[in-house]
């Protein structure tokens, strides 16, 4: 047990260091955790040995996987159903084109431009098509856009984009068999009855010190996640769908969401992001930086080509370029997709390193450009006109109550 507790202390020490780095440099904690994981594996591997960090230990894999599942659930639960019903055409059009054009474009670039295999190219298309809900939500919160119709539509569009990403990841890389039919059937049945059952169950037994709600939700996520992996799919797929279907009830319980965020971001997701960063090969990236630069450029170009014309067709044309740049960001789902490809042998470590580096670049560069040159100041509430750049506080959605 001594080795286990020592290793746990090491990982939580790295998580604390990553949090301090995010505060010092004003970047998202998820981003700093990936970077810390990359550097830690490089330094500790050189000093002690590559196995010292223990990224393949079963308990670290479990905590890492749980973090990804709960994070995906929370992303789905943040959806505002009323806004989506009112502005579904606009949110749906922007979100759909934000997924489809980069998905197809980046797949083609990886296959024809970088010479990757067909399956690796499809995986690159999935990873590059994502939009970072965390980054976009942080910007909305920083400037008060989350309370405006504009901000709510952009957030709804983000969910459409990432839903396409999650579905594509499950459909393309999961073999179709009777297991798939069983999984789809059980998932559909569960999603139909969950809103009714959950609301009544929480009303009768919830709001107690025993945290019954958290246990109930984790049971759902683990059960459907286990069924998904049994069907050779990905556990994040049902987690995202459960979050979306319960957004009208669980998503509006700010106290419950805050407690889940504490569990997720205070303990679980550091294991996921640090582990994801530890798989980035710095020597491979330095030796062949072209793939990273090509993928990043392809994502920004295809997002712009797809999203900007659509934004011009709806009200709020003045914010078209700002919306386009925010929809070009990526972080969480891009990392999840890349790690899925590496652990399932779809891409090698060099390709994984290029993908994750491109994902990290897309989390920072579009946000900086958007807030520097395209910020829609006419939408900012009077008290926030002198607010600092949102790029310096991209952690707010995971640390503060959205209220």
Say which CATH number the domain at 354 has. 1.20.1530.20
Q: Give the pLDDT of residue 35.
A: 85
- Token reading at 13: 């020490």
CB 146 within 8 A of CB 83: no
Which pLDDT value is given to residue 212?
92
| CA-atom Rg of the chain in angstroms | 20
- pLDDT recorded at residue 399: 34
Q: What is the pLDDT of residue 383?
A: 61
- pLDDT computed for residue 316 by the predictor: 61
- State the total domains in the chain: 1
Is the Cβ–Cβ distance between 77 and 251 less than 8 Å?
yes
pLDDT number for residue 20:
92
> Using CA of residue 370, residue 371, residue 377, residue 382, what is the dihedral sign?
positive
Per-residue pLDDT of the chain (403 residues; tens, 9 = 90+): 788 898 899 999 999 999 898 888 877 677 788 889 888 888 887 777 667 788 888 899 899 989 889 988 887 787 777 777 778 889 899 999 999 999 999 999 999 999 999 999 999 999 999 998 777 876 776 677 877 888 888 888 988 998 898 888 888 887 778 888 899 899 999 989 999 999 899 988 888 888 899 999 999 999 999 998 898 777 887 888 898 889 878 877 888 888 998 998 899 989 988 888 888 888 878 887 899 999 999 999 999 999 999 998 886 667 889 999 999 998 878 888 898 899 889 999 889 999 998 998 888 888 888 888 888 888 777 665 554 444 344 344 433 333 2
Give the pLDDT score at 328: 94
Q: What is the pTM of this model?
A: 0.77
Q: What is the DSSP string of 136-185?
A: HHHHHHHHTGGGSHHHHHHHHHHHHHHHHHHHHHHHHSS--SHHHHHHHH
Q: Which domain holds residue 186?
A: 2-399
Contacts of 214 (CB under 8 A, 6+ apart): 256, 259, 260, 263
**Which pLDDT score is estimated for 216?**
94
According to the model, what pLDDT value does residue 393 have?
Answer: 41
Residue 359 is inside which H or E element, if any? helix 349-373
What's the confidence (pLDDT) of residue 49? 65
């Amino acid at each position: 047990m001594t080795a286990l507790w020592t290793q746990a202390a090491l990982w939580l020490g790295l998580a604390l260091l990553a949090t301090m780095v995010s505060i010092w440099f004003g970047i998202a904690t998820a981003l700093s955790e990936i970077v810390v994981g990359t550097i830690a594996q490089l330094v500790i591997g050189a000093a002690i040995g590559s196995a010292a960090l223990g990224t393949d230990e079963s308990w670290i894999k479990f905590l890492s996987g749980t973090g990804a599942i709960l994070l995906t659930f929370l992303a789905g639960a943040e959806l505002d159903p009323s806004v989506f019903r009112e502005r579904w055409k606009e949110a749906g059009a922007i979100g759909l084109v934000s997924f489809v054009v980069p998905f197809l474009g980046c797949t083609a670039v990886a296959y024809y431009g970088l010479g990757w295999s067909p399956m690796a190219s499809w995986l690159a298309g999935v990873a590059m098509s994502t939009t970072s809900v965390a980054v976009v939500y942080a910007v909305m919160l920083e400037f008060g856009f989350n309370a405006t119709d504009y901000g709510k539509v952009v957030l709804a569009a983000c969910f459409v984009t990432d839903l396409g990403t999650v579905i594509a990841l499950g459909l393309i890389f999961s073999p179709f068999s009777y297991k798939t039919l069983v999984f789809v059937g059980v998932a559909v049945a569960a999603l139909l009855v969950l809103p009714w059952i959950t609301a009544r169950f929480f009303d009768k037994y919830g709001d107690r010190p025993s945290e019954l709600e958290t246990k109930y939700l984790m049971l759902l996520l683990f059960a459907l996640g286990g069924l998904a992996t049994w069907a050779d799919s990905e556990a994040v797929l049902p987690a995202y769908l459960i979050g979306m279907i319960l957004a009208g009830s669980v998503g509006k319980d700010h106290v419950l969401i805050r407690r889940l965020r504490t569990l997720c971001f205070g303990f679980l997701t550091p294991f996921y992001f640090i582990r994801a960063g530890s798989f980035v090969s710095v020597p491979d990236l330095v030796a062949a930086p072209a793939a990273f630069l090509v993928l990043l450029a392809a994502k920004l170009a295809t997002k712009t080509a797809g999203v900007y014309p659509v934004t011009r067709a709806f009200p709020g044309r003045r914010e078209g370029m700002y919306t386009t740049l925010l929809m070009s960001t990526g972080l969480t789902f891009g990392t999840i997709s890349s790690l899925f490809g590496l652990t399932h042998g779809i891409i090698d470590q060099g390709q994984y390193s290029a993908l994750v580096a491109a994902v990290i670049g897309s989390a920072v560069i579009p946000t900086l450009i958007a807030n520097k040159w395209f910020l829609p100041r006419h939408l900012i509430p009077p008290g926030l006109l002198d607010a600092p750049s949102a790029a310096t506080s991209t952690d707010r959605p995971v640390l503060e109550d959205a209220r």
